[in-house]
Amino acid sequence: MKNAAYKGRALWTAPRPARRGRLRPGWILLVLVALSSIAYFKRDALARTAPYRALFTVREVDVDGTTYLSEGEVRRAAGLDRPVDFLRADLGRAEAKLAKMARVEKATITRALPRRIVIRVVERKPAVLVRAGRLLEADRRGVILPALVSGVAADVPLVSGVRVKDVRAGRRIGDPAFARALRHIDALLRPEIALGRPISEIDVSDPVTTVVTLGPDGVDVLLPAEPPNERPLSALRVVLADLKTRGQSASRIDLRGEEVIAVRPIPAADSPADSLSVRPREPRRG
């Protein structure tokens, strides 16, 4: 008897009954898209609801990097000084507003959890005060800075003899005399010179002579149009130190000569004014 394959019901599996009430993944995706569309087109109305405002209104706007500007000035300029929607705030537009401020060189605005906005500012640093009918603050690039709301001016050297065609904030000073004044400031503030006295004023009105006034006693130092090398400037430091040791001061020190420094000391009440000549020495190293 030949074997035959068994075809009985013992090997038959009944089909699983369809589960009613269960949504397929495609339907779930379709529902989510529909709800998102409704929320998008009704977003303005949704944003006015109390639950939305409670969940998505910015709690705080932090400002980093300010020295001369106040945090309130920065928030107002960016338009972030009022209740702001954390999700819908246009941070790019706020950055563009800050970029229009003459005292702001660069600004970045980012979101931070939970419900916080951070403004990071790089300010233009005032380098000098320029005498141009009124005192103008300017950075090293010659950009004119607007007056601070507080009315406080930076403690920087005053520059005279610079022509300013447009005194409006944000405009740039193009007179070469401005760059000349900065070169003298840089030369006198080099660490190896170490004058130990602040620069009060620089007058570049004369094309061949630059007059630098040193504080605190107002010593006028006469220099060539362009800054001299290290030797005469180091000799100036020696002369100033020697006058201090003697308990004296000078009204004028002339460094325009190549080999001789002329010093006009301030005379005592009972002695006539005189003038001294000092030969500059090589600066002592170390």
The model's pTM is: 0.73
SS (H, E, C) 33-82: HHHHHHHHHCHHHHHCCHHHHHHHECCEEEEECCCCCCHHHHHHHHCCCC
27-123 and 128-278, same CATH topology: no
Residue 13 confidence (pLDDT): 64
In this prediction, residues 18-24 reach a mean pLDDT of 60
Per-residue pLDDT tens for 93-117?
999 999 999 999 999 999 999 899 9
Specify the DSSP class assigned to residue 16: P
φ and ψ of 73, to 5 deg? -60, -40
- pLDDT at 205 exceeding the cut of 80: yes
Q: In what order do the strands lie in the sheet with 144-145?
A: 144-145, 134-138, 128-132, 158-160, 199-203, 209-214, 219-224, 250-254, 261-265, 276-278
Q: Is 178 helix (H, G, I), strand (E, B) or coil?
A: helix
CB 274 within 8 A of CB 267: yes
Q: How does strand 128-132 pair with strand 134-138?
A: antiparallel
Residue spans per domain, the chain? 27-123, 128-278
Q: Is 281 helix (H, G, I), strand (E, B) or coil?
A: coil
- pLDDT at 269 exceeding the cut of 70: no
Neighbours of 77 (CB within 10 A): 21
Question: In Å, how far are 36, 47, 49, 89, 258 from 39, measured between CA atoms?
Answer: 5, 10, 13, 17, 81
Map tokens 């900065």 to a residue.
182
* CB-neighbour burial class of residue 263 (10 A; exposed 0-12, middle 13-18, buried 19+): buried
- pLDDT at 12 exceeding the cut of 80: no
Distance of alpha carbon 145 from alpha carbon 152, whole angstroms: 13
Task: Please tell me the CATH code under which domain 128-278 is placed.
Answer: 3.40.50.11690
State which fold the 27-123 domain adopts.
Ubiquitin-like (UB roll) (3.10.20)
Residue type, 165: K
pLDDT averaged over every residue in the chain? 84
% of the chain surpassing 90 pLDDT: 53
- pLDDT at 181 exceeding the cut of 60: yes
Q: Which residues partner with 159 through β-bridges?
A: 130, 202
Higher pLDDT, 40 or 81: 81
